[in-house]
Structure formats: structure tokens, C-alpha cells
Amino acid sequence: MKNIPSVQKSASQPQKLAALRQAHQDWNNTPDVLTRLTRRLSTTLSLEQQLAILADELGSVVPFDTLNYRHRIGKQDFVYATGMGGPHRCEYRLGLEGANYGTLSLYRRQRFSDQELEGVEMILSAAICPIRNACRFIAIEQASLTDSLTGIPNKRAMDDDLQRASQLSERHGQPYSLILCDLDHFKTVNDTHGHVVGDHLLQIAAAELEKAVRTSDSVYRFGGEEFAILLPLTGEQDAREVAERIREAIMAIQVDAGSKELRVTTSCGVATFLPKETAQEWLARADEALYRAKHQGRNCTRVFATIS
């Protein structure tokens, strides 16, 4: 008697596998738009690709002229748009479990009917979970590239951007420059005033660096008290002027350290990308220029000069 359940289970297993096979075929071949949409969205975590799929499937049911999606993920604005124009609009704030995952708007020349709006809402209800996952994936990627203390990109982000910048400079012959700056005597700040004050100083320094450069430039926390600034379309002389502006901005920082006002200076090293060199060689030259600045009195800028 004890063997009967296992025999019955074994006997039904082929039927179960056949049913699973049929279900898999139905899943892949169904003409149902919601099943097809869900299946297509499950193939990617790219929010841009998901929105393209959503626009494709949605347009097959409810015609529209423009789809616009916008969402702020972390510190970045994500915008996706397809099509043009249309005076009539329907707009949906995409939310799930109390969290916001962006706003989607549809535009067209004719007014949307109630039945069409109901269809849009059903399709969005099938798409919201994949969209949530894609938004979370972007947020996780951002976090992995962001310094938790200062909120600016970290060394991993810098390494990726330096590689990309060197390739662009090589391909298009456009100048890119790199500045490394190191807060002078920062260990003394931590030893004298504690890490809370030191961390506060690093946060202020990062904010001042971002104010001192263009929106097209990128600021990174490269190490403990070391920052990097990537300057697209910037030659050696202009990069030196930016480094001097940064140095003056850091000198202007004032932090209340209790018994006295705390000030800090910075040393800067500048290097402009050279053809045929690697991103690491470029970084090494900027680091060499910074080394000279640190050992030639600090609170100054040194350039790894190139011979043209």
C-alpha cells in the first residue's frame, strides 16, 4: 500500500509534462495582447526597450500619435518619447504598492473614448510590474556607480567614463582633459576634528566642485579625499584654468569646527588625453601631475605638459 502513491504519481507524470508542453506552446503562440505583452516585457530589464514594446502593443489596440514617459530615478531624469503631436491627451501616473514609477501620456488628434481609456488601463496594469523592475534595476545601477557619502559618481563610474572619453577623443580628434585634486592635509582634519567633521567637509567640497564646472563636465570621488573632474572638449590651457577655479572654490570653504573655523586647500594635477594612449595611462599622467603639486608646496596646480 505504501508504494501506491508513488506509482500513481509516476503514472501521471507524462500527462503533466504533456500539459506543460502544451501550456508553453500556448504561451508562445497566443494572440492575446496581454499575454504577448507580458511575455515580451519579460525578455529585458531595459526601461527604454520595455517602453518601445509597450508602445508597439498599445498602439495595436488603441491608436495614438505620441507616447511620452517621464520619471526621475535617483538623480537622473528619464524621458522617453515616440511620435509627434496631437491635441487630445490621456495621462497616467504609474504606481504600485504606494511607489511611483513615472508618468505616461498619450496624445492624438481625436478624443479618446471611454472604451479606449479602459483598454489603455488594462494594458498598463499588465505592464506596471516589469516597468517597476526596470526602474529598480536602473536605481541599483546608479547606486553601484555613486559615492554614498557625497552623492557624486565614484571611481567605478570614472573608470567607465574615462574609457568612453578616450575612445571618443581617439575617434573624433577632440580634446578631453582630466583633473585630479586632493584636499591638502586632510588626515590632520580627521585626527584633529573627527570623522564627522571630515565627512561634512568632503560633502561640501563635492558640492563646490560641481558648482565650479560646466554641466557637461563630470565630478567623481576618486579616493578618500581625492576627486576627479572629466572635461569634454577641453584642451590643456582651458583645463588648467578650470583647475585654478576649483582650487579657489575649495579655499573659500569655511566649516564651523567648534573652537575655530576650519579651512582647507587643494592640490590639482591636469592631463589632456594623448592619441594612442590608454585610459589608465591618461589617468597615470594626471596622477603624476598631482604628485608634483603635492610635493611642490601644495595648494597649487601642475600640468603634465605635452609637446606638440
Q: What pLDDT, in 10s, does the model give residues 83-135? A: 887 899 999 999 999 999 999 999 999 999 999 999 999 999 999 999 999 99
Q: Is the pLDDT of residue 7 over 90?
A: no
Q: Is the pLDDT of residue 24 over 90?
A: no
Cell readout for 35 is 499575454
Element (H, E) at 200: helix 195-212
Residue 80 contacts residue 110 (beta carbons within 8 Å): no
What's the whole-number mean pLDDT along residues 257-264?
81
**Domain topology for 155-303:** Alpha-Beta Plaits (3.30.70)
d(C-alpha 98, C-alpha 125), whole Å: 14
Please name the amino acid found at residue 44.
Answer: T
Give the residue ranges of DSSP H helices in 145-194. 155-172, 186-193
Q: What pLDDT, in 10s, does the model give residues 126-152? A: 999 999 999 999 999 999 999 999 999
Q: Is the full-model pTM beyond 0.85? A: no
Element (H, E) at 236: helix 236-251
What's the whole-number mean pLDDT along residues 251-259?
84
CATH code for 15-144? 3.30.450.40
For the chain, give every domain's residue range: 15-144, 155-303
**241 is annotated as an active-site residue:** no
* Active-site option among 225, 226, 244, 277: 225
Element (H, E) at 104: strand 99-108
Which strands make up the sheet holding 88-96, listed edge to edge?
Answer: 76-83, 66-73, 99-108, 88-96
Question: Which residues of 145-277 form beta strands (DSSP E)?
Answer: 176-183, 218-221, 226-232, 255-256, 261-262, 266-272
**Beta carbons within 10 angstroms of residue 126's beta carbon:** 17
pLDDT of residue 1: 44
Which range among 15-24, 160-169, 216-225 shows the weakest confidence by mean pLDDT?
A: 15-24
What's the whole-number mean pLDDT along residues 207-223?
94
Residue 173 contacts residue 276 (beta carbons within 8 Å): no
What's the whole-number mean pLDDT along residues 213-236?
95
Q: Give residues with Cβ within 8 angstroms of 41, minimum separation 6.
A: 50, 53, 54, 127, 130, 131
The answer to whether the 15-144 and 155-303 domains have the same CATH topology is no
Cell readout for 80 is 522617453
Please name the amino acid found at residue 203.
Answer: Q
